[in-house]
Structure 1
Amino acid sequence: MTITLCTLFEGNYHYGVAALSNSLIAGGFVGDLWVGYRGALPSWIVDSRDFDRATATLQVGSALRLRMVEIQTPMHFTYYKPTFLREVFERHAPEATLVAYIDPDIVFKCDWASFTAWFTEDAISLIEDVNPNLPERHPKRLQWARFFAPHGIEPQRRLERYYNAGYIAVPRAHLAFLDLWIQLCDLVMHQNQGVKHLKAGEATSLFHSTDQDALNFALTVSDVPLNTAGPEAMDIVPGGYYLSHAIGWPKPWHGRHIRQALRGMPPTPASKAYYDFANHPIKAYDTTAFARRVLARKLASAIGRFYRRT
């Protein structure tokens, strides 16, 4: 199986790309990470002597190549995930038999060999979200079914779980699923009357988690087999050992660790995992500045042992 990875970032999410890349190297991954971006590239890429401007490729040691792809789209990148996955298959890595998308606020905790056991050529790989229980007759599912029915899109199977869109691995055999997800994202964007935001409306809104809601409805329309794990596989709940996903806000690279801890919100396991990989071998931070950040994170964790919200 030929496996290729991809991610998307803009703005300061480049710090997450650096940590994700470092975690892949630590885990023993060898290959390409296709990085779709909007805006200016950070200095740790363009000023590196290992960056080839002609091919927009950053070689990191002998193992990892970051392949930069400038994206021209007005939509929020959360809607662009299935499109970028399709582009990687068709344009950038036509030799790939499987492409995995990974959000830039995720790092790998396990070795790559253990993770690849998740990949098969007949199934999509997914991880459950923070609220993973979504029964077949849940009000949201009933609302989605009524919304999509006039478009000729109807559920074909029962699902009881809700999956996070920050990680998804798709084999080439199921490219049609990406087309379905793209179609549903387009309908959701039209319904939400905008393409600029990650979340829309309130938690009770028809499509609040946008592309993720579209993904979960697409999974009921398609009969593609699923390889799945619980939310612990992203450190969303304790007990995991595969990935760590810094969901929500602020992201670890935003800092404010002590301030947040004094508000009863100490660093999460995902924040701690980020710092394990944030600055080596790729150095996205000045060494002194990074040391101050690490110290602040440790002090915030110490505060959290005595004071946290219930």
Structure 2
Amino acid sequence: MNSVVCTLFEGHYHYGLAALTNSLYQQGYRGVIYAGYRGALPEWAAAATENLSPCWPGSQTFEVAEGLQIHFLPVEVNYHLTNYKPDFMLRLWSGPAKDTQGMVYFDPDIVVKCKWKFYDKWITRGVALVHEVIANDMPSSHPLRLEWQEVIARIGKKNNRELRSYINAGFCGLTSNHKEFLKLWSTIISTAVEHYGLDSKTFIPFDRTHIFHGADQDALNIAAMCCECPISEIGPDGMDFINGGWTMSHAVGSPKPWKKKFLLSALKGNPPSLAERAFWLNVAGPIICHGKQEVRVKRASILVSAFIGRFYRRY
């Protein structure tokens, strides 16, 4: 299938983009990565050249390796990038990726662990989604789901499926036949702004009692409830939130793996996570943005920290 990858980043998250790109390359992905960004390009992309495509003024192209490119696309929106995901993907499909059959979005703190051909096939089964930390954690009778049904009614839709788990918005893959899902996701975010007091510039604007605690993620979950296209879900193992995963690793929370001091964290009872280990396994190329000595030290500190974690862990 003719598929592309996309992501959004700013600031130090370029380290995550580099590891994501490396992991995709190692797992057989060849093609284009569309990286929407704010601010300056990372130093490792200094060789990027101006892309004269009229579809996205100011874009630049970086040749990662044979068969793999990153198109850096400047994004000029005044709200948090996480709330821009569906609009970004729709803009890609109406512009530089208009002839693409499939599109997969990854947050820039994810690395891919399995062969790309799995993703290519997965998205043909429906909108590809992954559950949050705990499986079966949000039954159809959950009070927030009942409130979300009011949002669904407000936008003139109906609840088409009884979901039992909360979905993470760091990943979403689909074919062009299912763009309805992105339009719905975008509409719900706009509805949250217009009718539910959402400040779109804020990542987590409210506490969990609010109907839109995590704006883009709650909106994605509502879209999954009421979209007419099929969806295909993997449990929390799909992002290495629990053991047994093999598709991707998602380094949620803070600090990010490229900033974390692993030994200090282990001494506080927090051993390295699966996603943190996976990040440092994907920094050796083809994009190089960490020195060899730094990589050796980080990997050694992860091993020692994991050993400490066998005896001392905060629960």
Task: Quote the residue 2:241 is aligned against.
Answer: 236
CA distance in 2, matches of 1:117, 1:214: 25
* 1:31 alignment partner AA: G
Match of 2:252 in 1: 247
Q: Report the Cα offset of residue 34 of structure 1.
A: 0.4
Q: How does 1:2-13 map to 2 (within 5 A)?
A: 2-13=2-13
Cα displacement (A) at 1:117: 2.8
Instruction: Answer whether contact 2:23 2:111 (CA < 8 A) is retained.
Output: yes
Q: Decide whether the 8 Å contact of 2:61 with 2:70 is kept in 1.
A: yes
1:147 Cα deviation from its structure 2 partner: 4.2
Change (3 A) 1:54 1:160: closer
* Alignment partner of 1:14 is 2:17: no
Give aligned-pair identity as a percent.
Answer: 37
Give SS of 1:254's match: coil
What's 1:131 paired with?
134
Distance 1:148 1:231 in 2: 25
Distance 1:146 1:124 in 2: 23
What TM-score, normalized by structure 1, do the two folds share?
0.93
Question: Equivalent residue of 1:261, what SS?
Answer: helix
Question: When the two structures are superposed, what TM-score results if normalisation uses the length of structure 2?
Answer: 0.92
Q: Secondary structure at the match of 1:201?
A: coil
Within 5 A, what are the aligned runs for 1:111-260? 111-120=115-124, 123-133=126-136, 134-190=138-194, 191-260=196-265
Distance 1:62 1:287 in 2: 23
Distance 1:165 1:257 in 2: 27
User: Would the alpha carbon gap of residues 151 and 96 (structure 1) be closer, same or farther in structure 2, given more than 3 Å must change?
Assistant: closer
Gaps of 5+ in 1: none
TM-aligned CA distance change 1:168 to 1:151, over 3 Å: closer
Amino acid of the structure 1 residue aligned with 2:260: G
Q: CA deviation at 1:157?
A: 3.0
Q: How far apart in 2 are the matches of 1:237 and 1:135?
A: 20
> How far is 1:118 from its partner?
1.2
Matched, 1:100 2:104: yes
The corresponding residue for 2:75 is: 71
Q: Show CA shifts across 1:66-93 (max 9, x none).
A: 1100000011111101011101111111
How many positions carry a matched residue from both structures? 306
Shift of residue 280 of structure 1?
A: 1.5
Matched residue, 1:35: 35
Contact 1:16 1:278 (C-alpha < 8 Å) held by counterparts: no
Q: Secondary structure at the match of 2:179?
A: helix
Q: State the secondary structure of the residue aligned to 1:12.
A: helix
Residue 25 in structure 1 maps to residue 25 in structure 2: yes
Q: Distance in 2 between matches of 1:265 and 1:167?
A: 25
Q: CA deviation at 1:2?
A: 1.0
Q: Distance in 2 between matches of 1:270 and 1:26?
A: 17
Match of 2:49 in 1: 52
More moved, 148-157 vs 25-34: 148-157
Quickly say closer, same or farther: Cα 1:85–1:300, change in 2 above 3 A.
same
Change (3 A) 1:204 1:82: same
The letter for the 2-side match of 1:19 is A
1:61 aligns with 2:65: yes
Q: Is the helix fraction higher in 1 or 2?
A: 1
**Cα RMSD (Å) of the superposition?**
1.7
Report the Cα offset of residue 176 of structure 1.
2.0
Structure 2: 5+ residue stretches without partners? 53-59
Q: Give the AA of the match of 1:44.
A: W
2:203 maps to amino acid: L
Cα distance, 1:279 vs structure 2:
3.4
